Structure 1
Amino acid sequence: MDDLFYTQYLDHLKSYVHQRPEKKAIILLGYIQRDFLRYYRRGDLVDGFEFIKENIERNTELVKHLTVNQITSQMHSFVDDLAHEGIQNHVEIYPFLELQQKYHDLLKDKPVKDYLKWVQKVIYDFSLLMRIDNLSFSSRLEPTLDIIYYINTNIYHKITVKNVLIHANQYCNPAKAQRDFKYEMNMSISEFISAKKMSIAQKLLRNTDDSIQVIAEKLKFYDLNDFSKQFKKKVGISPLMYRKNICRKEDK
């Protein structure tokens, strides 16, 4: 790796050297986590963890000045950094948002006592998501990604292709964006909206006690019949049968 790291220059920064030990320790963790992102983006996770470990061990006495609450706050920040990287570079952003929320909830109940153990677990869980549907930014992909983010953000609203193209028109030629989307995703914008809504519907049927009527309303289908018809067309069985099958599998 030829990159220059923030961490290695800390001892030369006057604003760092003259800080109180606990403030220096917080700054140190922030810089270590920022430098780790270079490894994370490249998929060099083993070397990245070793980088964190080496810097923590070299500054053990300094890190000892931190309270459990301060270390936990830094871990919240680390989780946000890893989630942000995934959201910025992936088509499927919900898994990153879910994992981010999972760790924030977990950190509320289990404050961090072993920093390196937590870091290793967080890195591993986010790395599993980073391997799926990874998309780097390019001028050709930006309109497609923007459309995907718009749909994901508004998935619980009434979304039409017209709405999407009005949004796209703020940034690019909507007709070209529509053609590029179909080329990149191998499906039309309309098909993508439907696929996303059905994916969320399946998740709600599996993981909540919401009635099928409520799920149809949440996802802004015209009515229950419209939802059931589209669900069966996409999944092959009715929403009710889907939920019964899931329950049957869990009972076995």
Structure 2
Amino acid sequence: MKKDPFSELHFGDAEIPQISIHSPIAIFYKQKIRDNILYTKVQDGDITAFENEEYQALHKNQNFELMYVLQGELTNYIEDKEYVLRAGEGCLLNTQILHREILSEGCNVVFLNLSPTLLQELLANDSSNGPIFTFLEKNLQTDSQWKRSYIEFTPCLPYQSESFHVIIDSLQLEVATSKIGRAYFQRGLILRLLDALENVNQFSLQQIDLDLSKEQYLVNRLIHLIESRFGHISRKEIEVALHYNAEYLNRLLKRQTQMTIAHYAQMIRTQKAQQLLNTTDLTIQLIAEHLGFSTEAYFYHFFKKQTGISPNQYRKKFKL
């Protein structure tokens, strides 16, 4: 087994690899370059980088891990499940999740490792009632050590959040420095990062419990997939991504939500169009392109059919 080049490797129950970082905060970057990975570690005022083979073993982390895809895409393996994460998407894993990831060519991904002790300190002094902070608080409780859950997040609009990238870059600079006061800046930026994930104008969140029934798990995965593609996804693409027959998935979704895949996708596409009209100054043509409509005229027809008014009328009436 190839060892993670930056971490100490232990073996827990059933010889499961467990990766530990002896620091409250560590940031790792992985970038696929031809057949190797460029690894970069930012920790304790130091930056280390080198090329190596990709570490592909299923493992657990002794810290909470936030993964965010900066560029390209990767295949994320959560125990016996797999799915693709694209630029702007990511997940927050608790310490009980067995996982690994395989990067595609050109993929660049950042991992933020946060110790339970650090998170307990932060949440004791400053937190919100939102889903990210609630997830962390519940998973930090001693009676929750057996729970296998994580949060997936996707950009709620069809482009990446510049402000989120600024926070990541600022945190990386503070973790890399040895200047006085760095610990205070680091902790403040972590809180800002977690708070940004809860901003409904930046990210859509979904908590996944691996101990759910097969049906509920598949419905959650299907909903996440449709929402992450902003409703612009075919049944064939769904089958390829989830490895199940689309008609079977359609029956499951209808049983849970009373909506078919087509109707649910239309609802999401309409919601995203409304959000772009409400919160941005993008032209109607650009909105149509972002949401995958072949022409501006088709977007007008779709939007008016769904809402009863044209995109321009909607923007004039509801623009924030």
TM-score bracket for this pair, using the shorter chain length: 0.5 to 0.7
Q: Which residue of 1 aligns with 2:215?
A: 140
Correspondence 1:50 to 2:123: no
Match among 177, 185, 189 for residue 261 of structure 2: 189
CA offset at residue 237 of structure 1? 2.5
Q: Which residue of 1 aligns with 2:151?
A: 86
Correspondence 1:104 to 2:175: no
CA offset at residue 209 of structure 1? 3.4
- SS where residue 86 of structure 1 aligns? strand
Larger Rg: 1
Contact 2:94 2:150 survives alignment (8 Å): no
TM-score with structure 2 setting the length? 0.44
Structure in which a larger fraction of residues adopt helix: 1
Q: What percent of counterpart residues are identical?
A: 19
TM-score with structure 1 setting the length? 0.53
Structure in which a larger fraction of residues adopt strand: 2
With over 3 angstroms needed to count, the CA separation of the structure-2 counterparts of 1:51 and 1:96, relative to structure 1, is farther
Provide the rounded CA distance (Å) in 2 between the counterparts of 1:204 and 1:86: 24
Q: Structure 1, residues 162-207: CA drift from partner, whole Å, max 9, x if none?
A: x345436x62243221100112233110011111211222232234
Q: Which residue of 2 aligns with 1:117?
A: 188
Aligned residues: 192
Match among 231, 240, 248 for residue 312 of structure 2: 240
Match among 165, 174, 177 for residue 249 of structure 2: 177
Correspondence 1:210 to 2:282: yes
Point out where structure 2 has 5 or more consecutive residues left out of the alignment: 1-17, 24-40, 47-60, 66-91, 98-115, 125-148, 175-181
Match among 298, 307, 310 for residue 226 of structure 1: 298
With over 3 angstroms needed to count, the CA separation of the structure-2 counterparts of 1:10 and 1:207, relative to structure 1, is closer
Q: Structure 1, residues 25-47: CA drift from partner, whole Å, max 9, x if none?
A: 479xx96555x9649x9xxxx98
With over 3 angstroms needed to count, the CA separation of the structure-2 counterparts of 1:25 and 1:199, relative to structure 1, is same
Point out where structure 1 has 5 or more consecutive residues left out of the alignment: 12-21, 55-83
Aligned-residue CA RMSD (Å): 4.9
Q: Which residue of 2 aligns with 1:19?
A: none
Q: Structure 1, residues 87-110: CA drift from partner, whole Å, max 9, x if none?
A: 1xx7xx335998976332234368
